[in-house]
Structure 1
Amino acid sequence: MLLLFGLKTVLRPLRGRTATCQSCGLVVHHHLEERASKFTLFFIPVFTMSRSYRITCSNCGQVSAISARKKKALAR
């Protein structure tokens, strides 16, 4: 019997927001991204194992990890 399983990382862009960058200090658009690790069985995603969020400054490229709570606050 052959059983194929593994992990797959899925990147999903989310709606960004204009804010002040902590690194360069300019008010610019920030890109928001969701990164989810999914358990796969026979190349089919079965369930999500972990989820994280990153925000990137469009001016200087500073990348920061943010919590799910902060992500919800940015979505408002």
Structure 2
Amino acid sequence: MSITQQYLLDTYRARQLGEPAPPAPGANDWQVVRELRDHRQFSAVVAGRPAHGRIRQALGRWLHLRPRSIY
């Protein structure tokens, strides 16, 4: 059964029981991504690490430590 079929079945059942319809598939995806980002930033601050730019800093350190080619 696909996600769409399950959603339609759940909507039908909710309508039959007089309950509110469930949210459509994918309706809250961006909200979940934002909450995950906020949680990671909060965890970083609590652990004493910078909340922003950690990946860029790590890449910068990695690129500066690499020996340069002589070509």
| TM-score range normalised by the length of the shorter chain | under 0.3
Structure whose CA Rg is larger:
2
Q: Give the TM-score taking structure 1 as reference length.
A: 0.20
Q: Which structure has more strand as a fraction of its residues?
A: 1
